Homo-oligomer: A and B are copies of this chain.
Amino acid sequence: MARVVVDVMLKPEILDPQGQAVQRALPRLGFQGISDVRQGKRFELEVDGPVDEAALARIHELAETFLANTVIEDFVVKVEDAEGSEKVAGAAK
Protein backbone atom coordinates (compact mmCIF):
# COMPACT_ATOMS: atom_id res chain seq x y z
CA MET A 1 0.00 0.00 0.00
CA ALA A 2 1.40 3.36 -0.98
CA ARG A 3 0.53 6.83 0.12
CA VAL A 4 -0.13 9.64 -2.30
CA VAL A 5 -0.59 13.17 -0.99
CA VAL A 6 -2.65 15.91 -2.60
CA ASP A 7 -1.91 19.41 -1.32
CA VAL A 8 -4.55 22.00 -2.13
CA MET A 9 -3.68 25.67 -1.62
CA LEU A 10 -5.43 28.89 -2.57
CA LYS A 11 -3.88 30.46 -5.68
CA PRO A 12 -1.31 33.17 -4.79
CA GLU A 13 -3.59 35.93 -6.09
CA ILE A 14 -6.50 34.82 -3.88
CA LEU A 15 -6.74 36.40 -0.44
CA ASP A 16 -6.15 33.91 2.40
CA PRO A 17 -7.70 35.33 5.59
CA GLN A 18 -6.93 32.17 7.63
CA GLY A 19 -3.23 32.38 6.78
CA GLN A 20 -3.19 36.12 7.43
CA ALA A 21 -4.75 35.63 10.84
CA VAL A 22 -2.01 33.15 11.75
CA GLN A 23 0.72 35.42 10.40
CA ARG A 24 -0.50 38.45 12.33
CA ALA A 25 -0.76 36.49 15.56
CA LEU A 26 2.84 35.23 15.42
CA PRO A 27 4.72 38.37 16.59
CA ARG A 28 2.22 38.76 19.43
CA LEU A 29 3.04 35.19 20.49
CA GLY A 30 6.78 35.83 20.37
CA PHE A 31 7.63 34.40 16.93
CA GLN A 32 9.49 36.85 14.68
CA GLY A 33 10.85 36.45 11.18
CA ILE A 34 7.90 34.79 9.40
CA SER A 35 6.87 37.12 6.60
CA ASP A 36 3.92 35.19 5.19
CA VAL A 37 1.66 32.27 6.05
CA ARG A 38 -0.75 30.50 3.70
CA GLN A 39 -3.10 27.81 4.95
CA GLY A 40 -4.42 25.02 2.80
CA LYS A 41 -5.65 21.45 2.81
CA ARG A 42 -3.74 18.21 2.74
CA PHE A 43 -5.30 14.91 1.62
CA GLU A 44 -3.51 11.62 2.33
CA LEU A 45 -4.76 8.86 0.02
CA GLU A 46 -3.94 5.21 0.69
CA VAL A 47 -3.71 3.63 -2.75
CA ASP A 48 -4.29 -0.11 -3.26
CA GLY A 49 -1.77 -1.56 -5.69
CA PRO A 50 1.20 0.11 -7.32
CA VAL A 51 1.52 3.88 -7.71
CA ASP A 52 2.35 3.83 -11.41
CA GLU A 53 1.71 6.41 -14.07
CA ALA A 54 -1.88 5.28 -14.61
CA ALA A 55 -2.68 5.52 -10.89
CA LEU A 56 -1.13 8.99 -10.68
CA ALA A 57 -3.08 10.14 -13.72
CA ARG A 58 -6.28 8.93 -12.06
CA ILE A 59 -5.41 10.73 -8.82
CA HIS A 60 -4.61 13.89 -10.76
CA GLU A 61 -8.06 13.74 -12.33
CA LEU A 62 -9.65 13.06 -8.93
CA ALA A 63 -7.86 16.05 -7.40
CA GLU A 64 -8.87 18.26 -10.28
CA THR A 65 -12.54 17.31 -10.29
CA PHE A 66 -13.20 16.67 -6.64
CA LEU A 67 -10.55 17.74 -4.11
CA ALA A 68 -9.66 21.17 -5.46
CA ASN A 69 -11.71 24.05 -6.78
CA THR A 70 -9.40 24.90 -9.65
CA VAL A 71 -10.97 28.32 -10.12
CA ILE A 72 -9.42 29.53 -6.86
CA GLU A 73 -7.09 26.70 -5.82
CA ASP A 74 -3.87 25.07 -7.05
CA PHE A 75 -3.02 21.47 -6.22
CA VAL A 76 0.08 19.32 -6.18
CA VAL A 77 0.14 15.50 -6.25
CA LYS A 78 3.06 13.97 -4.35
CA VAL A 79 4.30 10.46 -3.66
CA GLU A 80 5.49 9.86 -0.10
CA ASP A 81 8.53 7.64 0.52
CA ALA A 82 9.27 5.50 3.56
CA GLU A 83 10.87 8.37 5.52
CA GLY A 84 7.89 10.63 4.93
CA SER A 85 9.66 12.87 2.41
CA GLU A 86 7.59 13.78 -0.61
CA LYS A 87 8.38 14.00 -4.31
CA VAL A 88 6.23 16.03 -6.67
CA ALA A 89 4.45 13.81 -9.22
CA GLY A 90 2.23 16.39 -10.84
CA ALA A 91 0.68 19.78 -10.30
CA ALA A 92 -1.94 22.15 -11.63
CA LYS A 93 -1.19 25.82 -11.20
Q: Which residues of A contact B (CB under 8 A)?
A: 1, 7, 9, 19, 22, 25-26, 29, 31, 33-49, 55, 58, 62, 65-67, 76, 78, 83-88, 91
Contacts and interface: CB of A to CB of B under 8 A. Distances in A.
A20 to B, nearest CB: 12
B84 A85 contact: no
A37 B41 contact: no
A23 B28 CA distance: 39
A35 B46 contact: yes
User: How many chain copies does the complex carry?
Assistant: 2
A49 to B, nearest CB: 6
Contact of A34 (B37, B45, B76, B78): B45
